[in-house]
A and B are shown apart, each in its own frame.
Chain A
Amino acid sequence: MRVFIILVAFAVGTLTGLGLTWLASARSNGFGAVQIGAWTAWPKSGTAEADPYARAVFARSGELPLGLADGIAFEATSDDSGMKLDGRCDTRIAGRLPPARFWTITIYDSRGRLIDNAAERYDFNSSEIVWNVDGTVEITLAPRARSGNWLPTGGRDHIVVVLRLYDAPVGLGTRSGETAEMPTITQVRCP
């Protein structure tokens, strides 16, 4: 009986321990997230003060985080209403962007790969995108060609949008940066 009880203790321990680690490192959720609308950034993960969770996440994925002196990366996996971004839908990203020397906006699949499409269009940067006269931008993520700034989603069910602001003002990476203006994300039409 005693052996059995010890075995139960070890089984519970191993399962919860490994389960927690697996969960924590599968999602990029280190501490110190800066959240603006549907966008989240982990500015600390690009510095020497990155927490153990962030280090584990990057070691497991193989990604090199953008150094904070280089810029700051915001990612979105859901729209403003909290609905998961779905590549089969039409999603509108619209509004003003925070000041930076320049920016890029890229979509990836859930494993961080670019999405194959005939137009070979994976991203927009601030100098090639078509701006509105009032200084706002409007981008449509959709499986089929759309007029204006279109990013093809390949009809994947899970997509991730990453907005990287290069040489951005330092304040953006702090809590006070949460007042910065970021574009809204709305899923307009789903089949």
Chain B
Amino acid sequence: MRNYMLPIVVGLVLGGLVHLTTTLTMPHFALADAFARLERLGPVNTVVLVPNPTPFTATLPRMDPAFATAVCRYDLSRGALRVRVPLSPDYISVSFYTRYGLAYYAINDRAAGRRAIDLQLMTHAQRAALPEDEEITAADRLIVESPSVEGIVYIRAFVRERGVLDAVRARFAEAICAPVS
């Protein structure tokens, strides 16, 4: 019996290490994470509508069926993006996630301007590279710094009554997620 104590203890310690490594690296190896699921909807740096969830088809698990959703998978490697989402009469929010689904910023209609949520999305390096004089005008525009080059802009608009669903979804056509010109 004593012969087995050592390998078991060593095994448990190894197990702890395996657990730590697999947990920490899981976001990098998960095959069906949010980014991968949204990839099927369309290319990067464009706003695409996310189909409303039904019992048989849902782009992501546990979506709130009371919302109309649009998404923009972004890739900042070629430069900053402008994100502009026109407001709807009801609650609307724009949430930012990294490539691995970490929520790092969100803004809703109450915090936005009168007509739209309008901002620029860039990496830390791109912000640092902004020319000095632009920094002054930057004071009156919202800049969101992405901790990663790739990520997800998730736009959701509350649909108070089912009757307005199509109207709310149609407004997403005016949303912009494109390189800063």
Partner-B contacts on A (CB < 8 A): 1, 5-6, 8-21, 24-25, 45-48, 50, 52-53, 55-56, 58-70, 101-102, 104, 106, 108, 111-116, 122-123, 125, 127-128, 162, 164, 166-167
Contact = CB atoms under 8 A, between A and B. Distances in A.
Interface stretch (B98-106, B124-132, B165-173): B98-106
Contact of B8 (A12, A68, A125): A12
Contacts of A104: 64, 66
Contacts of B11: 8-13, 16
Contact of A114 (B55, B106, B154): B55
A69 B107 contact: yes
Interface string B89-133: 001010111001111111110100000000000000000000000
A-B residue pairs, 5 tightest by C-beta: A17-B18, A12-B11, A13-B14, A16-B15, A112-B61
Given A12-B10, A102-B91, A104-B64, 11 more contacts: A11-B11, A15-B15, A46-B103, A56-B27, A64-B97, A68-B103, A69-B107, A70-B93, A106-B64, A113-B61, A123-B65
Interface of B: 3-4, 6-8, 10-19, 21-24, 26-27, 30, 32-34, 36-37, 53-56, 58, 60-62, 64-66, 91, 93, 95-97, 100-108, 110, 147, 152, 154, 156, 158, 160-161
Contacts, number: 191
B105 A115 contact: no
Contacts of A15: 15
Contacts of A47: 103-104
Given A25-B26, A127-B160, A62 B8 contact: no
Nearest to B14: A13
Contacts of A6: 7
Given A5-B3, A25-B26, A55-B27, A70 B19 contact: no
Contact of B56 (A60, A112, A116): A116
A164 B101 CA distance: 19
